[in-house]
Structure 1
């Protein structure tokens, strides 16, 4: 269909089916030959990886805690320039943010003027949907609720009751999806099996194509294309990223494979301003190519400990690289493999690089998550933590680095920082501004 449609998929709470619907819509519309651009509200790496596979276009994170509004607008405009449809998957419930609603799907929708399509789990609900929808609609009347898709609705009679609730509230009903026991998105936190993910995406697309009117959804969310950042009536200044003093002078190695795959595209764009990026695989490559900077992002090293631990020639090269002054940036799983060892779920210890005086374990899992702000030399770098592993020792990080959560509370989170090493459990976002990484990357 001609024109540009965009919207955010949101819900009253987690578990309503946002991801399944998003993936199904991305693939179903892609099957029509449309150019689809996916986005994810929040810092999550895993959903954008699925989005990328479903839409055949890299998924982009939009996060109001880690990014300025100007940067988000610029990202959105740049990445939708050639799109026919842009679909953003929300996070948690519509108004759930880091503090109250701050940074929520609702706030992102307001910033980008995104129509909202609600996903409502109506399995055990009938006319009570009216009260819930009324609250979501009127809590912030400035939001445009384009419609609601009812999930887990098996009969036409049930859907008719729900449509009556919609009519009374004044929200369009955009269709319903029955339960499908064969439709299962792979676990978000157990690694990404590409084949299983593709099977799930195809199943979700068939489910969407069979039960929803895609033309009606596109018509309900059609709008003018976003204006270029900086051309809006807003008085907010356009984000002005700092350019490196010596662009393009360095060779930067980036680990990228099934064990190290948590990479923000904008971070890589930023790294490219400092030099040439070369990707390599710690799972397959036995030696480290020559370089100035080594970036070990997070991922799932705990799923590949046999391969990683046995790749001692690579760990030897990394120790030599560091001894010769090579700079290493490591986040979460990347930091873990730089330690002496990782203990797996069975309690077995696997030796790793031995470059940092730490050891970690995923036995007796304990979830640590949340936004983080790192302050170093009066500069700020933002990111987040999400991991089940823990230190088995009590490492002492660099003393002049302060870490705070989204509520401004200082938290114990060791950061290992020296002239040629920057490692922690944090996943950083520096796509807008490198902050305290600037001098470190240029050194």
Structure 2
């Protein structure tokens, strides 16, 4: 029996991320090995989880991943952990379509209890009705406790305690508001710049939480059996040489995608911002990130761009990586910067416009699932539409999103997930898996 639970909320903005980070750090400081997870496709929260816990955070996405793969991942990463904490996404029951892919669906699949974070700033005894609904709406999950956030007065907290007691939901504590422990925002997600001292913010959040939350009660309420870990995937002895871009411009990477790539060969990392030469590699992987924030440096690394134009191996590129392979990227001020020119597409940040959602791409008989999240827009060159490629959203509606597939390149705005579909990815890239 080990504590394991999912942090959820009725809606976004209730404080899930701050409380998750504070719990990870507070429990990690007590000498326990804490394994973080993130429900959904987000890249930014897991980076902060990793800082807080000292363990890589793993995405668990019930829309992009098969149930078998999800269960295997969870078992593998929880087997050596003393405590496992999963941060939910949006509201507890918000999914791609109704509850599909929601935090509640994940909690039910993995049979882990839910801790609900309630923004109580403008709420008193009405919390009873809210908690009653969340406790009884979906009987396949267990509401193991509630944390009331943004509560400044003990008298206010007493009313909330009475509300929770009347519907039989354990109260784990409350948190007064502390503006200094908020994570700075960038785009729709979290600030990832080295300028922010995340350790200091997370330490302060952990101190704050430890003074108001009954951690031992929380751990007792969330004890659950832990299944034995499934065997790990076999690692290749190195048929291919695979080079992965990783720096401030390109860092949106699902850890399990890298685990799957290791089946194909040996992996090295390089920085398109600073590298003087491309690595000797059979496959280049250019993930997403924030290339639009580093355009002078990317465009100024002309030697690397020239080598990329002459590169004869296979290339896999997602979102920011696809933008880097295009003709130009135009920044928010309207200045155009020359990129690699390997794809007949240009992208622009003028004006920024959000594209967000799950995606499913059909190329021949191969289907890959993933997620799209960007503020740039694309400009197609005439005659570049590939009619053999279909991109659908989670409701199986056609989406106008560029995907390029050729003998040696697979690229698109999608962040692909192939952690459980390395066979399909290999087929699209023309890689013989032996």
Q: What is the TM-score when the length of structure 2 is the normalising length?
A: 0.95
Q: Quote the residue 1:350 is aligned against.
A: 337
Q: Quote the residue 2:221 is aligned against.
A: 220
> Aligned to 1:436, what secondary structure does the other structure show?
helix
Q: 1:176 touches 1:211 (CA, 8 Å); kept in 2?
A: yes
Report how far residue 227 of structure 1 moved: 4.1
Report how far residue 335 of structure 1 moved: 0.4
Alignment map for 1:94-243 (pairs within 5 Å): 94-189=92-187, 191-194=191-194, 195-228=196-229
Report how far residue 133 of structure 1 moved: 0.7
Distance 1:338 1:355, change over 3 A: same
Q: Quote the residue 1:43 is aligned against.
A: 41
Q: Are 2:27 and 1:29 equivalent residues in the alignment?
A: yes
Query: Matched residues in 1 for 2:252 and 2:174: separation?
Result: 34
Q: Quote the residue 2:310 is aligned against.
A: 320
Report how far residue 434 of structure 1 moved: 2.5
Distance 1:20 1:108, change over 3 A: same
Q: Quote the residue 1:434 is aligned against.
A: 422
Q: Quote the residue 2:249 is aligned against.
A: 259
Query: Matched residues in 1 for 2:201 and 2:172: separation?
Result: 23
Choose from 9, 23, 26 the match for 1:11.
Answer: 9
Q: 1:130 touches 1:168 (CA, 8 Å); kept in 2?
A: yes
Report how far residue 202 of structure 1 moved: 1.8
Q: Quote the residue 2:266 is aligned against.
A: 276
Choose from 370, 374, 388 the match for 2:375.
Answer: 388
Task: Say which is worse superposed, 346-355 or 59-68, in terms of deviation.
Answer: 346-355
Report how far residue 5 of structure 1 moved: 0.5
> Aligned to 2:42, what secondary structure does the other structure show?
coil
Gaps of 5+ in 2: none
Report how far residue 198 of structure 1 moved: 2.5
Query: Matched residues in 1 for 2:409 and 2:70: separation?
Result: 30
Q: 1:380 touches 1:435 (CA, 8 Å); kept in 2?
A: no
Size of the aligned set, in residue pairs, is 427
Q: 1:368 touches 1:388 (CA, 8 Å); kept in 2?
A: yes
Query: Matched residues in 2 for 1:271 and 1:80: separation?
Result: 22
Distance 1:186 1:441, change over 3 A: farther
Report how far residue 412 of structure 1 moved: 1.5
Report how far residue 248 of structure 1 moved: 2.6
Q: Are 2:250 and 1:249 equivalent residues in the alignment?
A: no
Q: 2:330 touches 2:348 (CA, 8 Å); kept in 1?
A: yes
> Aligned to 1:328, what secondary structure does the other structure show?
strand
Task: Say which is worse superposed, 391-400 or 152-161, in terms of deviation.
Answer: 391-400
Report how far residue 363 of structure 1 moved: 2.2
Gaps of 5+ in 1: 231-239
Q: 1:372 touches 1:385 (CA, 8 Å); kept in 2?
A: yes
Query: Matched residues in 1 for 2:253 and 2:89: separation?
Result: 19
Q: Quote the residue 2:411 is aligned against.
A: 423
Give CA-to-partner distance per residue, 1:31-75, whole Å, 9 cap, x none.
111100000000111111111111000000000111111111100
Choose from 35, 56, 59 the match for 2:57.
Answer: 59
Q: 2:408 touches 2:430 (CA, 8 Å); kept in 1?
A: no
Report how far residue 191 of structure 1 moved: 4.3
Give CA-to-partner distance per residue, 1:378-436, whole Å, 9 cap, x none.
22110010000001345634220111100011111121110011111010000111253
CA RMSD in angstroms, aligned pairs only = 1.7
Q: Quote the residue 1:405 is aligned against.
A: 393
Q: 2:250 touches 2:287 (CA, 8 Å); kept in 1?
A: yes
